[in-house]
């Protein structure tokens, strides 16, 4: 195999070649020779805008060890490159593959020739019923009912905090309803797809009783003491949760599988703040900015293909629309814009990296807020590449609605997976000493991204995992969520 990543015709003079420089169409390719280009002839391949790898290289590295054969691998690379670039870049290949072989790299990076995994033979003459799976989660107990059209498929009680798997449902559309005490009902319309798992997450909580003492749940971290001189906390805005301040260990322990060297553990104290329950949706972004840049379309899907600059502009625009004081002052134009943050105002903003990890962990010290592993029933990521050798799951190849999975114990959805989330901070090395309300490096080239995405592997969803990109970068897996001061 010859792989050409946007270079001149790689074949020797014995094979007919273009006389022009740059990407060229290769004709008369000999048997068992395969040439793949990162983009179409006459087009320019994207370089990744400051990322370690270009979109094409990222897609190739992800799929190169496919055991289904070279042509299937090439098709997967073409699909993933197009998705990562919003269809701006479409690889293509030329080849005359006659041997049933594929090539992979061993741990030393040496090409190995092996036989592809056999594909199951089709079975003829029998009816196949396609099925998928449903998981129902709820914060409050009630009676669960599942309907398909007017037919009741099943009904049973469901306890508070349950995650109830319902497997082998026939492919189709269902209404999932929970009836709570006091006459309150909540329902969701879901679609079960072949061999997939869809999650119906219910987050209704009954109002607290007005008589007697009110009990406030405490995070599983060292709580922060509130001096009596501080002003009273604001009411929680709609769509937000109050994150009670405290002290935690940021970063990952040396024993954590797949950890990176930039995750040095250190003690951090975070003040209380409000954080959005959900990633900013396309409906919310459209309502404020009058446009929707997303590759995957849907009102309740997270907005994506939003740069860091566009995220802070949205924060200011929404603040002005709701009568709040904008948190950011933006000067200049283009990629040379400078942004300063006024921490004393009440407007919307991006969370700091420390706030983000504190909220993501929700009092846990494990790799994920779900424990030592996370499945594709709990988050949207590439289930073909699970964490630490765990069982494979679903690869949905797209974003999912922001309420598709259960929230963490502090009420935040999609802190793991779906889309990467921009943070305020410039990317830089951690301080090894204890810190209070850190805001990252004073300057830099890259802004911090957290949480992993639908396209990335399980290891990238760890609470401590750090990514970064240039503030002008956009992608079909780059989004954000909002924060606000609680005082």
Question: Each residue of 185-215: pLDDT tens digit?
Answer: 888 888 888 777 777 777 676 664 433 333 3
Fold of 2-114: Alpha-Beta Plaits (3.30.70)
Amino acid 19: pLDDT:
34
Counting every residue written for the chain, the total comes to: 487
Q: What is the pLDDT at residue 272?
A: 96
User: Using H for helix, E for strand and C for coil, what is the string for the chain?
Assistant: CEEECCCCCCCCCCCCCCCCCCCCCCCCCCCCCEEEECCCCCCCCCCCCCCCCCHHHHHHHHHCCCCCCHHHHHHHHHHHHHHHCCCCCCCEEEECCCCCCEEEECCCCCEEEECCCCCCCCCCCCCCCCEEEEEEEECCCEEEEEEECCEEEEEEEECCCCEEEEEEEECEEEEEEEECCCCCEEEEEEEECCCCEEEEEECCCCCCCCCCCCCCCCCCCEECCCCCCCCCCCCCCCCEEEECCEEEEECCCCCCCCCCCCCCCEEEEECCEEEECCCCEHHHHHHHHCCCCCCCCCCCCECCCCCHHHHHHHHHHHHHHCCCCCCEEEECCHHHCEEEECCCCCCCECCCHHHHHHHHHCCCCCCECCECCCCCCCCCCCCCCCHHHCCCCCCCCCCCCCCCCCCCCCCCCCCCCCCEEEEEEECCCCCCCCEECCCCECCCCCEEEECCCCCCCHHHHCCCCCEEECCCCCCCCEECCCEEECC
Rg (CA), the chain: 25
The reply to whether domains 2-114 and 231-487 share a CATH topology is no
Question: Token digits for 262?
Answer: 């930039």
The pLDDT value recorded for residue 87 is 63
At residue 1, the pLDDT reads 52
pLDDT of 282 = 97
Question: So what's the pLDDT on residue 27?
Answer: 44
Spell out the domain ranges in the chain: 2-114, 131-202, 231-487
Q: What's the pLDDT at 415?
A: 98
> Which one is the CATH code of 231-487: 3.40.1440.10, 3.90.1580.10, 3.40.50.150, 3.40.190.10?
3.90.1580.10
CA distance 402 to 298: 11
For position 197, what pLDDT does the model report?
A: 75
pTM metric for this prediction: 0.59
pLDDT for res 129: 66
Spell out, as residue ranges, where the chain has pLDDT lower than 70: 1-34, 40-45, 47-52, 65-72, 86-90, 92-129, 161, 203, 205-232
Reply yes or no on domain 131-202 having CATH 2.60.40.10.
Answer: yes
């Amino acid at each position: 195999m010859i792989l050409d990543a946007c270079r001149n015709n790689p074949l020797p003079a014995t094979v007919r070649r273009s006389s022009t420089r740059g990407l060229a169409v290769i004709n008369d390719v000999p048997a068992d020779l395969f040439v793949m280009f990162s983009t179409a002839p006459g087009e320019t391949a994207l370089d990744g805008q400051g990322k370690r790898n270009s979109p094409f290289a990222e897609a190739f590295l992800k799929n190169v060890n496919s055991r289904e054969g070279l042509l299937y691998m090439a098709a997967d690379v073409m699909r993933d490159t197009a998705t990562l670039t919003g269809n701006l870049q479409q690889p293509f290949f030329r080849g005359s593959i006659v041997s049933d072989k594929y090539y992979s790299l061993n741990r030393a990076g040496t090409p190995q020739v092996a036989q592809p995994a056999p594909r199951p033979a089709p079975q003829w003459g029998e009816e196949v019923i396609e099925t998928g799976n449903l998981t129902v989660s709820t914060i409050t107990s009630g009676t669960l009912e599942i309907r398909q059209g007017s037919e009741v498929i099943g009904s049973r009680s469901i306890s508070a905090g349950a995650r109830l798997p319902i497997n082998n449902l026939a492919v189709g559309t269902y209404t999932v309803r929970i009836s709570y005490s006091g006459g309150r009902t909540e329902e969701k319309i879901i679609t079960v797809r072949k061999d997939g798992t869809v999650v119906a997450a219910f987050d209704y909580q009954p109002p607290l009783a007005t008589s007697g003492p009110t009990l406030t749940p405490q995070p599983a971290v060292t709580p922060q003491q509130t001096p009596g001189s501080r002003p009273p906390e604001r009411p929680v805005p709609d769509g937000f949760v109050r994150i009670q301040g405290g002290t935690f260990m940021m970063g990952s322990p040396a024993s954590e599988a797949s950890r990176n060297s930039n995750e040095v553990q250190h003690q951090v104290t975070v003040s209380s703040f409000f954080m959005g329950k959900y990633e900013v949706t396309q409906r919310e972004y459209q309502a404020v900015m009058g446009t929707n840049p997303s590759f995957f379309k849907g009102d309740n899907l997270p907005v994506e293909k939003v740069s860091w600059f566009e995220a802070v502009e949205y924060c200011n625009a929404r603040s002005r629309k709701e009568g709040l004081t904008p948190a950011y002052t933006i000067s200049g134009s283009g990629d040379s814009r400078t942004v300063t943050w006024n921490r004393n105002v009440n407007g919307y903003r991006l969370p700091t990296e420390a706030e983000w990890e504190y909220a993501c962990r929700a009092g846990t010290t494990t790799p994920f807020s779900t424990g030592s592993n996370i499945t594709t029933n709990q988050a949207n990521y590439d289930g073909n590449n699970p964490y630490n050798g765990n069982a494979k799951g679903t690869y949905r190849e797209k974003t999912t609605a922001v309420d598709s999975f259960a929230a963490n114990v502090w009420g935040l959805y999609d802190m793991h997976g779906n889309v990467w989330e921009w943070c305020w901070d410039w990317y830089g090395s951690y301080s090894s000493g204890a810190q209070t309300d850190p805001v990252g490096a004073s300057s830099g080239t890259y802004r911090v991204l957290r949480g992993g995405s639908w396209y990335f592997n399980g290891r990238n969803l760890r609470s401590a995992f750090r990514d970064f990109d240039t503030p002008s970068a956009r992608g079909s897996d780059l989004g954000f969520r909002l924060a606000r001061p609680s005082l």
